[in-house]
Every structure is written in structure tokens, then in C-alpha cells.
A and B are shown apart, each in its own frame.
Chain A
Amino acid sequence: MANYKPVIGLEIHVELKTKSKMFCQCSANYFGKKPNTNTCPVCLGLPGALPVPNEKAIEWTILIGKALNCTINKISKFDRKHYFYPDLPKGYQISQYDEPIAVNGQINIVGVGFSDPRYKGGNTPPLQKIFRIRRVHLEEDTGKLIHSGNETLIDFNRSGVPLVEIVTEPDFDNSDDVKRFLEELRVIIRYLDVSDADMEKGSMRLEPNISVREIPNSKFQIPNKFQLPKYKVEVKNINSFRYVKQAIEYELERQKEILEKGETPRQETRGFDEKKVATYSQRSKEEAHDYRYFPEPDIPPLTFTQDYISSIIVPELPQQKVERYVMDYQLKFDDAFRLTRDLKIANLFINIINNKEIKKNNIPIKFIANLFINSWLNKLRRLPEKTNERYVDEVVDAYKLRFQIGEAISSDKYDVIIDKVIAANQKVVDEYRKGKENAIMFLVGQVMREMKGKAEAKLIISKIKDKISN
């Protein structure tokens, strides 16, 4: 029996958060608007309308290309890609065919195989792999279809929003790597601040192309040079990274079964059913669309000078930041990794480290990192932002408490208990407010009891006072 090696490539679409659309001046922010309230003759495809490209969208596509280590083509252009569908107003999409903006890039993904049994975690150098980027190009988004009873309704608010398409080489051979790659790509895109890259909102979409290659077992078979399988299955309609993994796993199994029977899986496009955790057939990719590409006659070609390309500066990317934190702050890879997933959090971390108060109190960086990682990360993502000073205060408070209790108690825990005590003792609170100063000690005692004595009285007093004098 033969061995099977998965051959997976990815096609990712990222919606740019430019102010206006790709070829007109309607807002690119269409989310939540009433239908067809954000259109103009251009993005509605009215007779006589003409496209004029958005300068920023092009600049950001070059930025993405550079961040992915691509070569930026000195000459590029737009092409028309023809097919008929009700959400495509012109009957063609303005995209790029043979002269895209960026080609031949790669990303070095560190930390692949977290779930790989060989990875021991902690201080072990994490595994890394290089995944090649075939191309990065720019195009426009379509309108949205909504199915309602016996009709389909169409809203063109989204029509014409800039989309960057990133196509990888089929370098993936397992679903974990795909997930890790997509997570890294998403963080990179967010670092560049060119897109929200949010799968749920549709500002990041992906389609894996999946095939399986047979590897001959017998030593008597002359091994072929690496030959791509003669088919590939494209899976659409995947709405999260978790589902990507499931879809790939399902497909690999399905395709292996077919190959084991001696047949070849059909080249086609399939959808993913989240409930059944299975893919299903949609349409045949082999009656491949004849897109009849030709150069867009309404838009003059693009030329990029070396100076212009150089002027587009790629900020420090997540992987560089991780390496720098490991080196500069002696953090573990895992910790540095977690701290850098969100640029805002990473920046907050750095701000706190460099803060005068923090330095005055000689609070170690490791302590701060642990505080972030063990207690704060989730809340930081969800709660509205506070000022840096607030966060600094909380760090200082937490640090002061650490010896008294053997572990730092986060300010949050105090708040929860204090609020509980206040709520349960409104009469005492009223008395304090009326002027009975000592009443506060009763509340402090209650809090101390809840915390089993492991608390600092002064801090509790000031917190209670804060809360009840509002």
C-alpha cells in the first residue's frame, strides 16, 4: 500500500481598510449599512462608468508584498476577469492576471508543530518552516447575496472594496501547519494596520487547495521527481481557522479513500458544512471558468520606481519582535510569542516596561510579562482601553502584594470581592457616607475574611473609599 502525502496550497483574501473603495470614492466601510446606500455609478456598474484606482490600496499591497519578502514588480497592471454572477455588476472583476504587484515571496514560520510530539516547549528552540508565497495581487470585492425564500437579494455596498489576494505555493502537508501559518499571516496583516483581517466580519477569507500525492513504497519503483497531483480540490466557505483544520482533515481522508480504490478524486470546488464537519460538492473546477483575461483598457499600467518601493517601510514584524523580546528581555519564546500576538498589547507591554514608576520600583520585566500572560491577556482584548497610568498603577499594586501572599493577586480579584462586599452591606456604606468614618473598617474586615487574610489592608481601604465615594 502506498503512502500518501498531502499537498496543500492556500488562497487568502484580505479586505483593505482604506477609506474609500478600490475604484471609486464610496466608503470602503460597508459593514452594517442599509442595503445599496453606499454605491455610485462605478461600483454599481452603471452604463458609462469608469474605474480609477485608489492610490493607498496599491501602496498597501506593496507593503504586504514586502512584508512577505516578495519581489515587487516594476511594472504591473490590472486585467479584466470575466464571469457572470449576480453579485458581479460589470460581468467582470477588475483583478490582476499576469503582472501582479508582488511575486515570489516567503515567510519563515517559527513555532510550527506546537502539537508535534517532538516539540518539548519551554526553552527548546521551536520548529520552523519556510512557506513560499507565489503572488500577491490587488482586485475588487463583489456585492453580497442574501437568500430569502424563493428569491435572492443583492446588496452592492461591498462591491468595489479593495481586496488583496495572497496565493501560496502548495508547500503545506498538514493542517496544523496551515493553521499556524494563517495565524501568523493574520498577525502580520494586523501589524501592518492595513486590514482588520477578521474572519467573522469577512475581512479575511481563505480557500485551501487540497490534493494528495501517492508516494511509492516499494524500493523497486523509481521515485519520480516531485510531481504535483493531477487534480486539486478547492474548498470554499470556511469561516474560521478551526474549520480550516477540520475541512482539511476531512478532505485528506476523503481523497485518500478514493485513491485507495485506484481512482482519482474529481477536480472541483467544494463547500464546507460546519455542522456535519464535512465538505460537499459545489461545482466542477475542471470545466474551468474561461475568464478571458485581457488588460484593463480603462486603467493605464502601473510603474514602480525603486525609490518608491523603498519608501514603503515595513514595520517590525511579529517574528522579529518575538526574537527581540527573547534577546533583550530574556523572555521564553512561548511568552514572547504570546505577548506579541496583538500589537496594541505588545506596545502596552513596552510602555509599561519603560515607565518611570515601574523603573523606580525596580519591578522586573519577567514579573510584568507574567502578569500579562497569566492574568491580563484575555481581559485586555475585551475591555475598553484604559490609560497607561491605570495599568502602571495596577502593576505596581500587584508587585507590592506579591511577597505578602506568595503570588501576585491581580487588582481585578480585589475589585470583584470588594464590589461583592459593598453590595451586600449597603447599610454600612450609607453610614460611612453619612459621616461614620469607622464604618469602613467593618467593610475592610469583610473583604479580609473573603480573601482569607491574604490581603493588604491599606490597599483595600483606598479601593473601598474610591468606590463608595462615587
Chain B
Amino acid sequence: MSLLGKSVTQLRKLIEAKELSKSELVDYFKKRIKKYNSSLNAYLTVNEKESEDKTGSLNGIPLAVKDNFCTKGLRTTASSKVLDKFIPPYESTVTQKLKEGGAIILGKTNMDAWAHGSSTETSDYGPTRNPWDVTRSPGGSSGGSSAAVSAYLAPAAIGSETAGSIRQPASWSGVVGLKPTYGRVSRYGVIAMGSSLDCPGPVTLTVEDAALILKLIAGKDPYDATSSPFPVKDYVEGLNENKKMTIGIPDEYFIGVDESVKSRISRCTGILEKMGHMIKKIKLIDPKYAISVYTIVQRAEVSSNLARYDGIRYGNDRTYFGEEAKRRIMLGAYTLSYGYYDAYYKKAQKVRTLIIEDFKKAFKQVDAIIGPTTPMTALKLGEWEKYPFFGEVMDVLNEPAAVAGIPAISVPAGLDKNGLPVGMQIMGNYFCEGTILNLAHQFEKETDFFGVVKKGLENCKD
């Protein structure tokens, strides 16, 4: 039996049926990591430790975890030389829940350093390469996690999104990526980038896997005051309700988008309509304003969150910061500095309110909003340098949902004219992960993602 491409859900069944042992499964992935990681650079650290034998909903499932989650006793760097040798003395809530659910952490994946970027090229440990085309980026900042899943170096991974950092690499790597509602999943133990924006979330091959992982990691955490007490639904159960929805399509999210991406999305919305969902044109605030809101708020919070890295209690001193980190810290400091706070930070937070109200209004008319995940498919490595604030610009279509805090999922929508994966995103109302997972699952059942995931696995055979 070939394990290649088996989803978490499928692997669980095999383990429960005792057709597969936990150690066999771990060995399988470790072998693949040995084979492919040096060329892909998806993993920074492979976990050599024995894992505790716990049972739960992810019984025996090996996972890759983005290197900004503090894993007790296992090196955590946020892909920055500042934390080159940092070994956390405590566990993040998410990885704690995974472990208690029986999951096994295979290793820590590469990312843009401090999550500052959309291509994994600002990592201090070299870029991760896209399994679809190793001269290209897998996206970022959760590029390592997405590449790992795309190349089946793990059946699923945990990433984090501040604005696009799960959806965009999922889209460029041809896999599923879910950004939950802000506050749905605890941030305790996640190396902070944008405190009011960061969302841990799953990167998977199927929508069902994403639902399964979300169910395990979601929920209120007394150690995170911004985590929500909103009840956690059974997201897996909810997948099978055959709901027909009203889907909003905003024209604003198609401007500046590559033609072949546009046509793939149109094809998808056509399919959804044939399936019985109602497609409705809606108007939303131009995403370009979200770029400004996001750039200011995120960089302000970054400049503050990176202030603790002084090399005294842990890590190296501030001379080890990379160029991108310095840029963001400086801009953030500027927008918070005396005399400028009102014009920048306060103004940005006001426009943020406008964007939130805009979405709230839209969700009175529609159940979900669909658009392309990114304006273009995977760029060649090195191209990012051409942009003054690449990360924020590349994520233009992700930033509105990010600053509003609403959930969104990216699913493979086919390939572009160059054979590179295109991603379609489905945005939902606050705490309506069930809705967008359901719609994404229906779409997956109908299209099988146009065979994208299967094709991706051909990049990295056993």
C-alpha cells in the first residue's frame, strides 16, 4: 500500500484499524524528509525526540509545525538568527493541544524570518523552494509548512497567518490553507508578529483534514486574553450538510489580477452556480486601502513585539536582525512616534473599522465571499526584491479579511497557463468557519480540486 498523498483522515483510519503502526508512519515521513528536504528546505529542524504516547483525534498523526510556535525542548527560531539556538522552556497552547490529541511533531518548518514576508525568502536559513517548480517560491510566510504538505513531507502542517501567510502559500503550493477567525485559536506561545492579527491555522491536502485539525486546536485559552469563548463547533460533522449558499463576488478583488487566475476563478464560480449556489455581485471597499491599514497596524505591532529581543535573557542581540525586520521595526516605530500617532496608527485603526463594517454589511446579504487568493501565481525566487513593501503588496487580496479578523480558506482552483497552482479563497463571517469549510468541502467533492493535489504529489514521488 502506498501511503503517498493519504490525508490525515485516511491515515487515522489506517492506524485505528491497526493496518499501520505509528512508528511506521513516522519513519515513512522521515525517509521522505531525508530524500527531499535538502532540495526544498521546507524543514529547519527535524524532531529527533521520542514523542509521548497519547491518544486523541489525531492519534499517531505526524505533523509539521511552523517555526514560530514555541515547542518545549525543540529548537524554535522564527527563521531568524536572533533565535538561532533558542530552545523554548515551554509549550505553545496549539502544540500542547496537538500533542494531547496524539499528534507527533515531525519538525519545525521554514518561514519568512519573524513572518515578515510572502515568499519565505527573508528567512535567515535560505528560502524554501516550491515543489511545483524549485526555481520558484512556495509563498510565505508559512512557506515551509505549505511546501512540506505539497511535497508530502507531512500529511498536514500548522501555519500562522497575519495577512495571507497561510492562504497565499497554500495557494502557490497547491494545497488547502485555513485562516480561522481572529481569536478562534490561541496565540499563546506563537512568536508574535501582529498581535491584533495573528491567527494559527492548518495547512492540509483536504478540507476535511483542515476541519479536523481546527476542531482540536480551537477554543478559549485562559493564557490568551484575546481568545474567544465562542463555542467550538464540530467542524467535521458540519461538512456533510448539503447547504446551498448565497456567494458574493466583489469586482474589486479582480483588479490587477492575472488573466489566467481570473479565468480559473470564473470557472470555479460557474461550477458553484451549477451546484445550486446563488452567485451575487457585491461591492466591497477597494482592497488597496487594506494594504495601508495592514502595513501601518502590523508594522507598529511588529516594532513593539520585537522589542523584547535584546539578547539578554535568550538569543542573540539586535545586530542579528535581517534587513526586512529592521525595515518593519523602523516603519512601525515611526508610525507610533510622537506627533505621528494620530496621522498613521489611529487613522489606520479607524479605516479598519470601516472595513469591518463593510464586511458586516456584506454578510447580511451573502453567506460567503469568493475571490482569487492572490493576484498571481508563484513568483520566481528573487523577484520579491523589486517591491518596496513586497509582503504587504502581494497579500492585497488577503489583507481585508485579515484586518477585519474574519475567517477565510484557500483551496486549489486549478493550474494557470504555466502549470502553476491557482488558489481560490472563500471568506466567511465571524466564527463561521463551519460555513466556509462546508462550501469548500462541497467544492472539493465536486471538482477534486481539478486533480491539482494529486498532480502535486507527482513532484515528489516516494
Contact = CB atoms under 8 A, between A and B. Distances in A.
Is there any pair of Cβ atoms, one from A and one from B, under 8 angstroms apart in the complex?
A: yes
A91 B78 contact: no
A298 B308 contact: no
B226 A298 contact: yes
B307 A294 contact: no
B155 interface: no
A21 to B, nearest CB: 14
B225 A91 contact: no
A91 B305 CA distance: 8
Contacts of B190: 48
Contact of A48 (B191, B310, B345): B191
B89 interface: yes
A56 to B, nearest CB: 16
Given A47-B70, A47-B76, A294 B314 contact: no
Contacts of B153: none
Contact of A51 (B92, B225, B308): B225
A53 to B, nearest CB: 7
Nearest to B86: A47
Given A90-B307, A91-B307, A294-B341, A50 B223 contact: yes
Contact of A290 (B224, B309, B338): B338
Interface string B285-306: 0000000000000001101101
B43 interface: no
Contact of A50 (B78, B187, B307, B312): B187
Given A294-B336, A294-B345, A298-B225, A90 B308 contact: yes
B313 A89 contact: yes
Contact of B188 (A48, A91, A294, A299): A48
Chain B contact residues: helix, strand, loop or mixed: loop
B223 A80 contact: no
B225 to A, nearest CB: 5
B310 A86 contact: yes
A49 to B, nearest CB: 7
Nearest to B194: A297
A216 interface: no
Given A41-B90, A292-B333, A294-B341, A47 B78 contact: yes
Interface in A221-277: none
A151 to B, nearest CB: 12
Nearest to B90: A41
Nearest to B192: A48
Contacts of A90: 307-308
B89 A41 contact: yes
Interface string B225-246: 1100000000000000000000
B195 to A, nearest CB: 4
Contacts of B187: 48, 50
Interface in A178-210: none
Contacts of B195: 297-298
A134 interface: no
Contacts of A48: 68-70, 88, 92, 187-192
B332 to A, nearest CB: 9
A45 interface: yes
A462 B226 CA distance: 69
Given A294-B304, A299-B225, A84 B310 contact: yes
B225 A50 contact: yes
Nearest to A91: B307
A47 B303 CA distance: 14
B225 A45 contact: no
Contact of A47 (B191, B196, B225, B345): B191
A151 B371 CA distance: 58
B92 A80 contact: no
A50 B336 contact: no
Nearest to A295: B349
Nearest to A289: B338
Interface in B30-85: 68-70, 76, 78, 83
B229 to A, nearest CB: 12
Nearest to A300: B225
Contacts of B226: 50, 297-300
A92 interface: yes
A422 B382 CA distance: 96
Nearest to B332: A292
B307 A46 contact: no
B222 interface: yes
B188 A49 contact: yes
Nearest to B183: A300
B337 interface: yes
A82 interface: yes
B88 A46 contact: yes
Contacts of B86: 47
Nearest to A154: B312
Contacts of B338: 290, 292
Contacts of A154: 312
Contacts of A377: none
A40 B70 CA distance: 14
Contact of A86 (B70, B192, B225, B312): B312
A46 B308 CA distance: 8
A294 B68 CA distance: 24
Contacts of A46: 70, 88-90, 313-314
Contacts of A53: 225
Interface in A37-92: 40-41, 44-53, 80, 82, 84, 86, 89-92
A297 B196 contact: yes
Contacts of A52: 222-225
Given A45-B313, A86-B312, A292 B191 contact: no
Given A86-B312, A91-B310, A299-B225, A50 B345 contact: no
B307 A47 contact: no
Q: Most chain-B CB neighbours within 10 Å: which of A41, A53, A89?
A: A41
Interface string B242-271: 000000000000000000000000000000
Contacts of A92: 304, 307
Interface in B197-232: 222-226
Q: Most chain-B CB neighbours within 10 Å: which of A89, A90, A91, A154?
A: A91
Contacts of B189: 41, 48-49
B199 to A, nearest CB: 13
Contacts of B301: 297
A91 to B, nearest CB: 3
A300 B225 CA distance: 7
Interface string A14-55: 000000000000000000000000001100111111111100
Given A86-B312, A90-B307, A50 B224 contact: yes
A48 B69 CA distance: 8
B307 to A, nearest CB: 3
Q: Give 5 nearest A-B pairs by CB, closest first.
A: A91-B307, A297-B195, A292-B336, A297-B196, A48-B189
20 contacts: A41-B189, A47-B191, A47-B309, A48-B68, A48-B187, A48-B190, A50-B188, A51-B225, A52-B224, A84-B310, A90-B308, A91-B304, A91-B306, A91-B307, A292-B336, A294-B341, A297-B196, A298-B224, A299-B226, A300-B225
Interface of B: 68-70, 76, 78, 83, 86, 88-90, 92, 187-192, 195-196, 222-226, 300-301, 303-304, 306-310, 312-314, 333, 336-338, 341, 345
Given A47-B314, A52-B225, A84-B307, 5 more contacts: A47-B192, A50-B223, A82-B304, A86-B310, A89-B308
